[in-house]
Chains A and B, each alone.
Chain A
Amino acid sequence: MKPLLFELGVEELPPSYVTIGSRELKAKFEDFFKKNRIEFEGLRVFATPRRLAILAEKVAEKQSEWEKEIIGPPVRVAFDASGNPTKAAISFAKSAGVDVKDLKIVTNKKGEYVAAVVKEGGVDTAELLKEAVPEIVASLKFKKTMRWADSFRFPRPIRWIVFLFGQDVIGIEIAGVRSGNITRGHRLISHGEVEIKDPLSYEELMEKHFVIADLKKRREMVVEKIKEEALKIGGEVISDDELIDEVTNLVEFPEAVLGSFEEKYLELPDDVVITAMKQHQRYFSVVNKDGKLLPYFVAVINNLAEYEDFIRPGLERVLRARLEDAKFYYEEDLRIPLEDRVEKLKGVVWREMDGQVISVYEKVMRIKELALKLAENDDSVDKSVIERGALLSKTDLTTEMIRDGKEFTKLEGKIGMEYALALGEDERVAKVIFEHHLPRFSGDQLPAQKESAYVGIADRIDTIVGIFATGYEVKGSQDPLGIRKLSYGLIDLILGLEIKIDLEDAIKKSMEIYGIDDETLLKKILDFIFTRFENYLEERLGVRYDIVDAVIASGIKDLVNLKNRAVALNDLLLKEPEVFEKVVIGQKRVANILKNAGELPEINPELFEKEEERVLFETAKNIEPKVIDALNREEFREALNYLLVLKDPIDKFFDNVFVMTENESVRKNRLALLKFVRQIFNHYGDLSKVVVEGQ
């Protein structure tokens, strides 16, 4: 067993690739050792922006050996009548590389065969690595790769390769770079080439040359050092895992520097200041014990702490320029009253439809009208907040901060809210401006106020209708305008805040506001959202799509109601799968038999011939008002319980009553009875749509 080191020296990789690349490299080496039956111990991976490395403390010098059975011709062909090997046996033995007399006989399904046992493996590990490693490197998957010299592609150029097995170099070439035992230390504070004599010394040697090669260790250092710096002024950094990951992979030797900025910039909204620090500069913001923002920042640098006095002034100056920009925008922006901004929206393009430019102003007016209509019957919300909030919802699109502010454009919504507050708007109205954007992505926070949700729902429906009206199609993964994502956001909002609206009615209202009268379009949009709804419930709540499909068939268009219905049905499926299955099968029989039933008369109890008919009818009649009542109260489990009462009468009916009898009036009466039963179930949903096993 010998230690093994492989290091790929590269020009600075994108931060996310450092993590991804190291994970993949380790997995591929592990896979290689296992597949080739090479014993190994202590496999580690190292990763910095300039290197991806694999170190195994012990690797066997040779592959393990194993025996393999090669099946040859059948015994009757391999030996002649007197038991001597035939030509077939001799040539088989020869090709397998064994003596004829060492052939053995094995029995398998097809009969008796001769077989040769051969030894495999035992190849030098170095030989196998030589062949495999260039392929491993070439097979690493990254989002974007480039060429630099020949046709080899990698995220950034490869500049050196260390490949040591014990003390010996394994000679390979990747992208024209030959392997050796020479690495490089930190770009600025270590000089020249570094020779590696022993793979096991790698981590320590690198540290001597100012490279913390272990990603986890480097991350811990970052976390520790930024904390220490903030503590110097009694503050703490706003924790931000994403930013920590990023800066960890932007440096090889992390140090942290505490810097400050003038207090006057704290008059800006916190989010603006934090964004100025984070977005481009990758600085951490500092707060005091009460969470109040302080005029300090902590930056992670890639050099020694002793140089911090050379570095700090530059860091502070860059931030000052960004904050100065923000302050300029902020002050200029606040000169303009929000009413003027609403007017200015006439000059902001929302999108072009059929060659006509539609302004955001028009959109805002539509959102306002729709939001008010949707909230009409909801007494728990303040309509004036919805009206004013909707009116001002897009005003920040006209501000310099959002139009021109580069990194600040991400603050759309927040800026609108802050400006509204600064200009004395009602706090709830201001909140609508920010919150109607929520959720901005899957898993994002939801609005705290229902008023914001109504505006958000109206905004999304308006966009969906507007885009579909242009003939837009979503096909497979093709959805350049992101309608799918928008629909998920819409569903998230409706379910998250339990906004009870009739979706079909809402789409119809939106179309009316657009002046569109098109039944086909209405159906298309409704189907599209329902399909997303099915996916949504399946992904988020684990409710099967066919269950959702079944409840949608009830004709209810209120998503909150449908969700609870589907969940109750799904619970039944999970808790009592056998009962559930029988009910479904019963409903499938009912649905099938009714398929070609045509016109049916009223049920006439006089025509019942069998007890089972009477029982089913009586039970159904008795149960229907109870089901309807429970559904009206949205007590879905209760409604299901009533429906379950019908299970036995239905089963018995099918067991003992022959529906398709010769006598037409009796037959039609029986069919009418089944139709009645089906109709009761359909109040809940069409259970025949549910998929059961063995179907």
Chain B
Amino acid sequence: MLTFQDIILKLQDYWARQNCVILQPYNSEVGAGTFNPATFLRSLGPEPWRTAYVEPSRRPKDGRYAENPNRVQQYHQFQVILKPPPADVQELYLNSLRALGIEIEKHDIRFVEDDWESPTLGAWGLGWEVWLDGLEITQFTYFQQVGSIDLEVISAEITYGLERIAMYVQGVESIFDIVWVNGITWGEIYKDFEYQFSVYNYEEADVEFHRMLFSKYEEEANRLLDKKLLYPGYDFVLKMSHAFNILDARGALSVSERATYIQRVRKMARKAASLYIELREEKGFPLLREKK
């Protein structure tokens, strides 16, 4: 049987062979692999870039105290960025499913229109959700804008939902029953984690404290980005986003307040994005030169 970690290893191996830089998850809470600087920042500017990595993604609002077989507040994405996308990018993707041992010829694979948007990151793109026998297993997007900046070179972002794929391949009905490796299930590793974080996200997280954190993170991000300290500054943008997610899960934000918070994160994200382009330009866009 294909275990959860087999899936990760096979995808890493496959995309490594496509000349992707295999990275590790970012060490800060993120809502999706898109927030990782290896995607958010690297998709900006003219330089080519290919990467693949697993991203544990936190969605505080999706927690269900480990009671719902399909929803959890932290799941795993496998993220691939191809910048610029090769003409056969869809074929490359389909071959990655073949690499997982899925006989796609005998199944129903569909690219179903789905336009993606991240209001906090000021990012959007057009693409599809990919269906495997009616199950959405991947989000496939051609980025058009990131950090509220129109992209110079387009990236294709391929985001696999690893739990979805594992449930399909293993034929299990609950995330918690996914076999991570022989003898150890997903539930063994994350069930208590899910329960405790659900309690925290919905009940225990201190609202005033998080409001304060959000504002402090914002100040810090702003101050650091002003000093052209891009990476530390961007880290605080990520922290703003997570603090916002916690407040949102706690139901602490009214509709208009929510919109304002999103706008505040987006503003800092834009600042980081333009600083990234500025700094890379100062260096003469090194990855462009190396290619020549």
User: Nearest chain A CB to B4's CB is how many angstroms away?
Assistant: 18
Report yes or no: A310 in contact with B134, Cβ–Cβ below 8 A: no
| Interface check B197, CB cutoff 8 A | no
Quick one: given A146-B142, A147-B144, are A310 and B107 in contact (CB under 8 Å)?
yes
Q: Which residues of A contact B107 (CB under 8 A)?
A: 188, 303, 307, 310-311, 314
Is there a chain A Cβ closer than 8 Å to B108's Cβ? yes
Interface residues of A in 296-333 (CB under 8 A from B): 299, 301-303, 307, 310-311, 313-315, 317-321, 324-325, 328
Residues of chain A lying within 8 A (CB to CB) of residue B126: 144, 146, 155-156
| Interface contact A11-B133, CB-CB below 8 Å | no
Q: Does B109 reach chain A (CB closer than 8 Å)?
A: yes
Instruction: Give min CB distance, A235 to chain B, whole Å.
Output: 20
Shortest C-beta distance, A527 to chain B (Å), equals 29
For A159, give its contact among B87, B109, B168, B256 (CB under 8 Å): B87
A312: nearest residue on chain B (CB-CB)?
A: B133
Are the CB atoms of A144 and B134 closer together than 8 Å? no
Closest-CB distance, A322 to chain B (whole angstroms): 9
A349, B252: Cα distance in complex, Å: 12
What is the interface residue range for chain A against chain B? 35 or more
Query: A187: which of B103, B109, B115 is its contact (CB, 8 Å)?
Result: B109
Say yes or no: B115 contacts A317, CB within 8 Å.
Answer: no
Which one of A12, A281, A357 contacts B111 once the chains associate, using CB atoms below 8 Å? A12
A12 to B87: give the CA distance in the assembly, Å.
14
Check if B85 is an interface residue, CB within 8 A of chain A. Answer: yes
Considering the complex, which residues of chain A in the window 1-36 have a beta carbon less than 8 Å from any beta carbon of chain B?
11-15
- The residues of B that contact A156 with a CB separation of less than 8 Å are 126
A321 engages B87 (CB within 8 Å): no
Contact assessment for B254 and A314 in the assembled complex, using a CB-CB cutoff below 8 Å: no
Contacts of B94 in A (CB 8 A): 187
The interface centre, meaning the residue of B87, B94, B134, B171 with most chain A CB atoms within 10 A of its CB, is B134
Minimum Cβ distance to chain B for residue A248 (Å): 13
- Confirm or deny: B90 has a beta carbon within 8 angstroms of a beta carbon on chain A: yes
Taking the nearest CB of chain B, how far is it from the CB of A305, in angstroms? Answer: 12
- Which chain B residues lie closer than 8 Å to A148 at the CB level? 85, 142, 154
Bound complex: CA A310 to CA B126 (Å): 30
Q: How many angstroms from the CA of A189 to the CA of B103 in the assembled complex?
A: 11
Which B residues touch A352, using CB under 8 A?
A: 254-256
Beta-carbon nearest neighbor of B135 in chain A: A318
* Set of chain A residues within 8 Å of B105, measured between Cβ atoms: 188-189, 303, 307
Query: Is B23 located at the chain interface by the 8 A CB criterion?
Result: no
| Complex CA distance for A14 and B142, rounded to whole angstroms | 14
Query: If the complex has contacts A15-B113, A352-B256, are A324 and B106 also in contact, measured as CB distance less than 8 A?
Result: no
A318 and B134 in contact (CB under 8 A), knowing A14-B113, A15-B113, A352-B256? Answer: yes
Tell me which of B108, B133, B134, B254 contacts A349 (CB under 8 A): B254
Give bound CA distance, A159 to B91, whole Å. 12
A157 touches B (CB below 8 Å): yes
Whether A11 contacts B132 by the Cβ 8 Å rule is no
- Answer yes or no: A114 CB below 8 A from chain B CBs: no
CA A63 to CA B109, docked complex, whole Å: 45
**Are B134 and A319 in contact, CB atoms less than 8 angstroms apart?**
yes
Q: How far is the CB of B175 from the nearest CB of chain A, in Å? A: 11
User: In the assembled complex, which residues on chain B have CB atoms less than 8 Å from the CB atom of A397?
Assistant: none
- Contact present for B173 and A317 (CB under 8 Å): yes
Q: Are A146 and B144 in contact (CB under 8 A)?
A: yes
Which residue on B lies nearest to A144, using beta carbons? B126
The answer to the question of A149 belonging to the interface, with a C-beta cut-off of 8 Å to chain B, is yes
Q: Across the interface, do A314 and B144 meet the contact criterion of CB distance under 8 Å?
A: no
Contacting B at CB under 8 A, from A326-378, are 328, 349, 351-352, 357
Question: Which residue of chain B is the closest to A319 with respect to CB atoms?
Answer: B134
Q: Which residues of A contact B108 (CB under 8 A)?
A: 301-303, 311, 314-315
Q: Does B48 contact A (CB under 8 A)?
A: no
Q: Is A250 an interface residue (CB 8 A)?
A: yes
A406 to B87, CA, bound (A): 35
A179 smallest CB distance to B (angstroms): 15
Q: Are A144 and B133 in contact (CB under 8 A)?
A: no
Q: Are A314 and B135 within 8 A (Cβ)?
A: yes
Residues of A within 8 Å of B142, CB to CB, are: 146-148, 157
Q: Are A315 and B154 in contact (CB under 8 A)?
A: no
CB distance from B200 to the nearest CB of A (A): 19
Give a binary string over B140-154; 1 marks a CB under 8 Å from any A CB, 0 the rest: 001010000001001
Contacts known (A188-B104, A301-B108); A321 close to B70, Cβ less than 8 A? yes
Residues in B neighbouring A49, C-beta threshold 8 A: 111
- What is the CB-to-nearest-CB distance from B99 to chain A, in angstroms, rounded to a whole number? 16
A134-151 interface mask toward B, CB cutoff 8 Å, 1 = contact, 0 = none? 000000000010111100
A11 to chain B, nearest CB (A): 6
- Contacting A at CB under 8 A, from B66-86, are 68-70, 84-85
Bits for B167-188, please: 1 = Cβ < 8 Å to A, else 0.
Answer: 0100101000000000000000
CA distance A332 to B154 in the complex (A): 46
* Alpha-carbon distance A534/B167, docked complex (angstroms): 58
Q: How far is the CA of A357 from the CA of B252 in the complex (A)?
A: 13
Whole-angstrom distance between the Cβ of A257 and the nearest chain B Cβ:
8
- Contacting pair B133 A318 (CB below 8 A): yes
B92 on the A face (CB < 8 A): no
1/0 contact trace for B249-263 toward A, CB 8 Å? 000001110000000
Contact of B106 among A149, A307, A313, A318 (CB under 8 A): A307
Contacts of A281 in B (CB 8 A): 134
Contacts of B168 in A (CB 8 A): 314, 317
Contact assessment for B135 and A12 in the assembled complex, using a CB-CB cutoff below 8 Å: no
What residue in chain A is nearest B255 (Cβ atoms)? Answer: A349
B45 at the interface (CB under 8 A from A): no
- Set of chain B residues within 8 Å of A188, measured between Cβ atoms: 104-105, 107, 109
Complex: how many Å from CA A148 to CA B125?
10
Q: Which residue of B lies closest to A310 (CB)?
A: B106
Cβ of B214 within 8 Å of any chain A Cβ, yes or no, is no
In whole angstroms, how far apart are the Cα atoms of A177 and B171 in the complex?
A: 42
Which B residues are CB-close (under 8 A) to A147? 142, 144, 151, 154
Assembled-state Cα–Cα distance A251/B108 (Å): 10
Q: Which single residue of chain B is at the shortest CB-CB distance from A300?
A: B108
Establish whether residues A315 and B134, one from each chain, have CB atoms under 8 Å apart when the complex forms: yes
Q: CA–CA, A320 to B173, complex, Å?
A: 9
Distance in Å: Cβ of B71 to nearest Cβ of chain A: 8
Within A130-188, the residues touching B (CB, 8 Å) are 144, 146-149, 155-157, 159, 187-188
Complex-state Cα separation, A147 to B154, whole angstroms: 7
Distance between A493 CB and nearest chain B CB, rounded to angstroms: 27
* Whole-angstrom distance between the Cβ of B122 and the nearest chain A Cβ: 17
Q: Mark B97-132, 1 if CB is under 8 A from A, else 0.
A: 000000111111111110100000000011010001
With a cutoff of 8 Å between Cβ atoms, the chain B residues found around residue A144 in the complex are: 115, 126
B residues less than 8 Å from A311 (CB atoms): 106-108, 133
Chain B nearest Cβ from A373, distance in angstroms: 30
Q: How far is the CB of B154 from chain A (nearest CB, A)?
A: 5
Among A184-204, those with CB < 8 Å from B are: 187-189
Nearest Cβ distance between residue B282 and chain A, in whole angstroms? 26
Residue of A nearest to B90 (CB): A11
Instruction: Choose among B94, B110, B144 the residue with the greatest number of A CB atoms under 10 Å from its CB.
Output: B110
How far apart are the CA atoms of A321 and B163 in the complex, in Å? 14
Which of chain B's residues has its CB closest to A160's CB?
A: B87
Report the Cα distance A318→B167, complex, angstroms. 11
Contact of A146 among B103, B110, B125, B256 (CB under 8 A): B125
Chain A residue at smallest Cβ distance from B108: A301
Distance (Å) between the CB of B248 and the closest chain A CB? 14
Which chain B positions have C-beta within 8 A of A299? 134
Q: Are A314 and B133 in contact (CB under 8 A)?
A: yes
10 nearest interchain CB pairs? A314-B133, A14-B113, A12-B111, A301-B108, A146-B126, A318-B134, A315-B134, A307-B106, A310-B106, A318-B135
* 25 A-B interface contacts by CB (under 8 A): A11-B111, A12-B110, A12-B128, A146-B126, A147-B142, A147-B151, A148-B154, A155-B126, A156-B126, A187-B94, A187-B109, A188-B104, A188-B109, A189-B105, A283-B134, A301-B108, A303-B105, A307-B107, A310-B106, A311-B108, A314-B135, A314-B168, A315-B133, A318-B133, A320-B173
